[in-house]
Amino acid sequence: MTSLPSDLPQSHDVPHDLIARYDRPGPRYTSYPTAPEWIDLTHDDATAALSRVAADPRPISLYVHLPFCERMCLFCGCNVVVLKSRDKVARYLAALTREIALVQSIVGDKKLVQLHLGGGTPTFFTPDELERLGAAIFAAFPPLPDAEIGVEVDPMVTTRAHLTRLRGLGWNRLSMGVQDFQDDVQEVTDRRQPDQKSAAIFTLGRELGFHSINVDLMYGLPKQTAAHLAHSARRCIELGADRIAVFGYAHVPWMKPHQKKLEAHGIPTAEDRWRMFNAARSTLMSAGYQAIGFDHFAKATDELARAFGARKLNRNFQGYTVLEPTHLIGLGLSAISDAGGAFLQNAKKLPDYYRAIEAGRFATEKGRVLTHEDHLRRTVIIELMCNLYLDFAMVEKRFGIEFGAHFANELSALAPLIADGLVVQTPHSLEITERGRVFARNVAMPFDAYLARAGAADKPRFSRTV
């Protein structure tokens, strides 16, 4: 195990009392309305939403969920299926191919502006299997010349053949999960991914011409310290990562019971979590990376950094993006679509997914058709979470409201955050300050009309905000 540095980067000024005051359960706002507010939806709802997509001339985005993993990492919050053999792979790929055809039968001929293979572990599949999947996708939805085509890779099961084949098919972006480069944290979380293996796959990706490589780090895990995060950030810098996501571990054992095993090793406090995040943040920014939103970092020359500087950053289920908002269609087990004014989530259990798709029906189980008010509040929350800035006039023009009157209660609720220096309000805007970045979720929460409903706090629903 590499020795950890004793010299940590200079601390960013966030007083301890602010961490104690604002560390509470809150949504991450990957969607609004958030998933706990979704209701039962069906094939007919999906057909109606996709019919609205068909009437829109814009290109589409696709997310394809490949859920299989060889083992379950104890920090995992994703919907995965652990397989010790490959007996389910052929059936799953056949179902995906059928689902692609179902979507195309509704939306018609569409160009593809963004594609992401996520997991699970996409590289659990063989190069030949991934090539067949790619061929089915591109035959139905040809990619635009500048399309973003990305894949998540697990270095422990990814080979040169995987990356060579994907690059040859047109994949141009890699996202590599590491979480922590140190063996002691990996052992506790059952990740077991040596530094040299991660570095080798990163280097191979560069050699093969993937022009954007992201590394995912995680803070708030057992055994982690600020020194661990500073070390992991330095390794990302040494490798030359274009983007680094520094996610807070979401401890939600009521949803993911396997996470309870981590409690035996101690879950870090909010103040410890802040020190970890700040160590990574300070290390990356000292090396010239720019903070993007509230938990991402990018080289100053990266398109994300330029978009953030111009206050034009967007966000979808695939993460931060410079693309204009468009319809995102999710394929596969538990995949989520954000399309046709609705969220649509597929079945979370393989038998249910297969039953629907093999019968020629969409596997939609949950979701939400957004109201005008949902769209309005979603816009406000996305602007705050992406650009840390909200222009009242933009919202007023788009939705035909007077911002101060419509959101009088919400602006009043922000008064304590303004007093604490987390937000600046002018007659024309809201802006999250540098001190307030870590509390961006807290700033967005007053605009969430569902959080205050009766019974919302009766049971755990969200991870903590710090």
Instruction: Tell me the per-residue pLDDT of 235-270, one tens digit each, with 9 for 90 and over.
Output: 999 999 999 999 999 888 888 889 999 989 999 998
Are the beta carbons of 61 and 316 closer than 8 angstroms? yes
Are the beta carbons of 292 and 298 closer than 8 angstroms? yes
pLDDT(182) > 70: yes
pLDDT(294) > 60: yes
- Whether residues 110 and 38 share a domain: the answer is yes
Torsion angle of C-alpha atoms 215, 218, 224, 230, degrees rounded to 10? 50
Q: What is the pLDDT of residues 96-155, one digit of tens each?
A: 999 999 999 999 999 999 999 998 899 999 999 999 999 999 999 999 999 999 999 999
**Mean pLDDT for the stretch of residues 27-43:** 93
**Mean pLDDT for the stretch of residues 87-91:** 89
Nearest to 2 by CA among 247, 235, 198: 235
Burial (CB < 10 A; 0-12, 13-18, 19+), residue 448, is buried
Q: Per the domain annotation, does 7 fall within a domain?
A: no
At residue 46, what is the residue type? A
Q: Per the domain annotation, does 308 fall within a domain?
A: yes
Please give the pLDDT value at position 88: 84
Q: Per the domain annotation, does 352 fall within a domain?
A: no
- For the chain, the average pLDDT equals 92
> Alpha-carbon distance 9 to 358, whole Å?
55
- Whether residues 21 and 73 share a domain: the answer is no
> Alpha-carbon distance 264 to 245, whole Å?
27
CATH number at residue 379: 1.10.10.920
pLDDT(458) > 80: no
Rg of the chain taking only CA atoms, in angstroms: 22
By residue range, what is the domain housing residue 53?
32-330
**Mean pLDDT for the stretch of residues 372-390:** 96
- Whether residues 249 and 279 share a domain: the answer is yes
Total structural domains in the chain? 2
Query: Interior CA angle at 70 toward 66 and 76, to 5°?
Result: 70
> Alpha-carbon distance 258 to 272, whole Å?
23
Run of H or E including 215: strand 212-219
- Whether residues 389 and 314 share a domain: the answer is no
Are the beta carbons of 363 and 336 closer than 8 angstroms? no
- Whether residues 62 and 94 share a domain: the answer is yes
CATH number at residue 148: 3.80.30.20
Nearest to 37 by CA among 458, 448, 466, 463: 448
- Whether residues 176 and 265 share a domain: the answer is yes
- Whether residues 237 and 326 share a domain: the answer is yes
Joined together, the tokens standing for residue 433 give 């300050």
Query: Interior CA angle at 259 toward 253 and 261, to 5°?
Result: 120
Are the beta carbons of 322 and 303 closer than 8 angstroms? yes
Burial (CB < 10 A; 0-12, 13-18, 19+), residue 384, is buried
At residue 454, what is the residue type? A
- Whether residues 317 and 407 share a domain: the answer is no
| Cis amide leading into 33 (omega within 30) | yes
> Alpha-carbon distance 109 to 351, whole Å?
30
**Mean pLDDT for the stretch of residues 330-358:** 97
Torsion 135-136-139-142 (CA) sign: negative
pLDDT(234) > 70: yes
- Whether residues 40 and 27 share a domain: the answer is no
Q: Per the domain annotation, does 376 fall within a domain?
A: yes
Percentage with pLDDT > 70 across the chain: 96
> Alpha-carbon distance 368 to 33, whole Å?
8
pLDDT(5) > 50: no
The phi, psi pair for 31, rounded to 5°, reads -145, 160
Q: What is the pLDDT of residues 301-319, one digit of tens each?
A: 999 999 999 999 988 887 8
Percentage with pLDDT > 90 across the chain: 76
Q: Per the domain annotation, does 316 fall within a domain?
A: yes
Residue 356: band (very low, low, confident or very high) from pLDDT cuts 50, 70, 90 = very high
Are the beta carbons of 5 and 234 closer than 8 angstroms? yes
**Look-up: residue for tokens 């270095």?**
155
- Whether residues 414 and 433 share a domain: the answer is yes
- Whether residues 21 and 58 share a domain: the answer is no
Joined together, the tokens standing for residue 109 give 């001929």
393: Cβ contacts below 8 Å, ≥ 6 apart: 428
At residue 75, what is the residue type? F
Q: What is the pLDDT of residues 391-434, one digit of tens each?
A: 999 999 999 999 999 999 999 999 999 999 999 999 999 999 98
Give the CA distances from residue 404 to residues 128, 411, 412, in Å, rounded to whole numbers and listed in that order: 57, 8, 10
Torsion angle of C-alpha atoms 292, 298, 300, 303, degrees rounded to 10? -80
Residue 87: band (very low, low, confident or very high) from pLDDT cuts 50, 70, 90 = confident
- Whether residues 298 and 242 share a domain: the answer is yes
Q: Per the domain annotation, does 357 fall within a domain?
A: no
